Structure 1
Amino acid sequence: MELSDYIRVLRTSWLIVLISAVVGLAAGGTYTALQTPTYGAVAKIVVSSVVPTSDVPVKIKNDPAITRVRTYAGLASTPDVLEPVIESLGLDTTVAELSGRVWVSASSGTSQIVIAGGAPGAQAAADLANAVAVSLTDAIEKLEDRPDQSESSIWVTTVQDATPPSAASGPRLKTNLMLGGISGLALGLAIAVLRDVFSRRALAKREQ
């Protein structure tokens, strides 16, 4: 079909396309209304090497710990990190389920690990992110086999505690409405085109 054919279809079947788009918008809005609000909170920790002979740990320039930050971040989804979180917060969930509510990232070339927690409540989201930060810190220290942080070759510091967010991060009404409207519009166009094709075929058969 050429552009002129689509224009002709729209002129003759605009009502079908419009109704489908409205139905799509309604579906997007209904889906959003049925979802439980989700809150997100972020905590940040920094991993660095220290001078072992110093009374006060000092960060080393060109920190070699940076090369291992992504490895440390990968620990966040393991039972060694999440099981203590479940226990400390008294959560009725599994490690697999909880890992779907925790997002941890570490950018290449930096010593910072960002920990985000998602939960149905603002305080619960902050508590989750902070608990994961604490548990991940413990796991990193155990991995380095130095239980006493002051003696460890790796220093883990919390640089940002998670705080309860003021607004929910999801569901996203505008996004769902847009997706619903576009889907409805596409479906309406498909129905209109198919209707036109079948109508033209039926007309051609009658003329034979």
Structure 2
Amino acid sequence: MNLQSQLTAVRRRWWIVLASVMVGLAAAGLITVNTQPRYDASVTFFFVTTPADGLLAAAQGSAYVQQRTKSYAALLTSDRLAQSVAAEPGLGVTAGEVQARLTALTPVSSVLVDASFSDRNQARALRVVEVVAVQFVKLVQSIETPTGAKNSLVKVEVMNGPRVTPEPVAPDPARNLVLGGLLGLFAGVAAAIVRAMVDRAVRTAEVLSRLTSAPVIGEIPYDKSMKSAKLIVGASAKSPRAEAMRKLRTNLRFVDLQEPARVVAVTSAVQGEGKTTAACNLAIALCEAGWQVLLVDADLRRPQVTEYLGLTGRPGLTDVLLGEVELTDAVQSWGDRSLLVLPAGPPPPNPSELLGSKGMADLLASLRESADIVLIDTAPLLAVTDGVVVSVQADGALLVARYGSTSQAQLTAATQALRAVDARLLGCVLNGARRSVAEGRYYPSYLEVPAQHAVPGRRRAGVGPEATDVPAQNGAGAVAAAPTDATQEFSQVTK
């Protein structure tokens, strides 16, 4: 992944980063609360040689002390000093604790040594450093006194201290929270990038087109109101989703001008990709442009077209293929005069065989001449063979994929299933695509067109009257079906 891809992955998965930062802050706060306070007591030693005659002797003495300063710092953490300090009555610390908590620091090119001791008890920390100051001076003098001499070559003076910090040096709430937040931020960014690298779901039109070797002719934006209003009628007619369906309508009409598709199968790789919603809304969008549309529900296992449109499910396609009902008796009119619907009918025991029968082929040939365009809602390609059977008999297929849900492997398998039977893949539709912030501001303002400026769509010459606006919805979002001029015209054409 390049830098741009990584930034995109982090932006799309911002909630992972936010959650990680919150966890880091919570962990830092928990550690801070549960950590007992600690105090530091310190003392500073100054080393100098005993007085000697002459400047040369003084310079040599100073150089001697500087060379041995690091040795004096190491002497502060030695076993000998720790044992002598621990032996002091009333301290309550062991030699090991003295060594572990006593630190020494030597500034560069100086004859000073800073010693500090950390303890949970403020008074004990100060008392230990006081004992260290006394015992360390004695230890240095004993070591630096030559055999038989009375005075030490090095004199140790206490320059600063002993003193103890008035406030605890640990824990530091501000520092802990900053560190926790930064660690959480880094972990969240890493997790977002790793998840993007292992995520095989389709999220861009480019990936969808590459996997299917077909153009993406529609990107339907995510709309949170879609659960309650699936169809692009009423208030939803001016939504970005409705405008995307109109773009899909236009692109579908110009996919192939040499061989225009009159019978189009709408399918998907797996269940739940939104193919039925796309088929219904595409049919409505085509009707708005003045086309006479016949929508066929060929998903005989889980039919939903009539549920979305508020029509009766019987009689339907199954009854027509079995010869129990005439086609004109099964077709229902929805909304305006130009949308006809052929429901699925009762579920048959052998859907694949029924859809692949000669009767189905003859029916599609008849429907092709009775409407401007026929849309067929089919079963998912990977679940059963119904979708493949219908797609090969249609003039072409539209493959619907859902953003962030359909995997690349599923799309590849669905495309191979269509290619295996030489079915024509007209294009793909990315459903639930995420819009940019700029698009979100653009659509609502631009789509508010005054009603008097609306231009009615034009129908093909010689095919029915001009289309009118889709009427208001009935009850649960559907328009009541009733015999209209469209059903009468369809009846005359199919006879």
TM range (shorter): 0.7 to 0.9
**CA-atom RMSD, angstroms?**
2.6
Look up the match of 1:80.
80
The residue identity in structure 2 corresponding to 1:67 is: Q
- 2:38–2:169 contact (8 Å) kept in structure 1: yes
Secondary structure in 2 aligned to 1:90?
Answer: coil
Q: Is 1:205 aligned to residue 409 of structure 2?
A: yes
Look up the match of 1:34.
34
1:61: how far off?
Answer: 4.8
Q: Larger radius of gyration, structure 1 or 2?
A: 2
| Closer/same/farther in 2, CA of residues 11 and 45 from structure 1, 3 Å limit | closer
Look up the match of 2:117.
117
| Closer/same/farther in 2, CA of residues 106 and 196 from structure 1, 3 Å limit | closer
Look up the match of 2:99.
99
Q: Distance in 2 between matches of 1:22 and 1:164?
A: 36
- 1:20–1:187 contact (8 Å) kept in structure 2: yes
| Closer/same/farther in 2, CA of residues 146 and 128 from structure 1, 3 Å limit | farther
1:125: how far off?
Answer: 2.0
Alignment of 1:33-182 (within 5 A): 33-51=33-51, 60-61=58-59, 63=62, 64-88=64-88, 90-145=90-145, 151-182=151-182
- 1:104–1:116 contact (8 Å) kept in structure 2: yes
Provide the identity percentage: 24
The residue identity in structure 2 corresponding to 1:115 is: A
- 2:79–2:99 contact (8 Å) kept in structure 1: no
Q: Distance in 2 between matches of 1:105 and 1:187?
A: 35
The residue identity in structure 2 corresponding to 1:134 is: V
Residues 103-147 of structure 1 show CA distances to partners (whole Å, capped at 9, x for unaligned) of: 112234322121111111222222222221221111111112369
1:30: how far off?
Answer: 0.7
Secondary structure in 2 aligned to 1:152?
Answer: coil
Structure 1-normalised TM-score? 0.85
1:163: how far off?
Answer: 1.8
The residue identity in structure 1 corresponding to 2:29 is: G
The residue identity in structure 1 corresponding to 2:407 is: L
Look up the match of 1:56.
none
The structure with more helix, counted as a fraction of residues:
1
The residue identity in structure 2 corresponding to 1:204 is: Q
Structure 2-normalised TM-score? 0.38
Q: Is 1:6 aligned to residue 2 of structure 2?
A: no
Secondary structure in 1 aligned to 2:183?
Answer: helix
Residues 9-45 of structure 1 show CA distances to partners (whole Å, capped at 9, x for unaligned) of: 2232111210111111110111111111111121111
Note the residue ranges of structure 1 that are not aligned, 5 or more in a row.
54-58
- 2:91–2:127 contact (8 Å) kept in structure 1: no
- 1:129–1:162 contact (8 Å) kept in structure 2: yes
Secondary structure in 1 aligned to 2:87?
Answer: helix
Q: Distance in 2 between matches of 1:11 and 1:155?
A: 65
| Closer/same/farther in 2, CA of residues 168 and 146 from structure 1, 3 Å limit | farther
- 1:86–1:93 contact (8 Å) kept in structure 2: yes
Look up the match of 1:194.
194
Look up the match of 2:22.
22
| Closer/same/farther in 2, CA of residues 130 and 91 from structure 1, 3 Å limit | closer
- 2:142–2:152 contact (8 Å) kept in structure 1: no
What is the number of equivalent residue pairs in this alignment? Answer: 203
* Larger displacement relative to structure 2 (103-112 or 195-204): 195-204
Q: Distance in 2 between matches of 1:66 and 1:199?
A: 62
Secondary structure in 2 aligned to 1:162?
Answer: strand
The residue identity in structure 1 corresponding to 2:129 is: A
* Larger displacement relative to structure 2 (34-43 or 90-99): 90-99
Q: Distance in 1 between matches of 2:35 and 2:45?
A: 32
Secondary structure in 2 aligned to 1:44?
Answer: strand
Higher relative contact order (CA 8 A, sep 6+): 1
Q: Distance in 2 between matches of 1:78 and 1:40?
A: 20
